[in-house]
Amino acid sequence: MKRNMGTVDRIIRTLVGVAAVAGALLAGATSAVGIVLWILAAIMLGTAAVGFCPLYAVLHVDTLGRRTDRGLPV
Q: What gap in Å lies between CA 7 and CA 64, rounded to an integer?
A: 7
Kindly tell me if the per-residue pLDDT of 74 is higher than 60. no
Q: What gap in Å lies between CA 65 and CA 43, rounded to an integer?
A: 23
pLDDT for 30-69, tens place per residue? 999 999 999 999 999 999 999 999 999 899 888 987 655 5
67 and 8 in contact (C-beta within 8 Å)? no
**pLDDT-based confidence at residue 73 (cuts at 50, 70, 90):** low
Residue 1, pLDDT score: 82
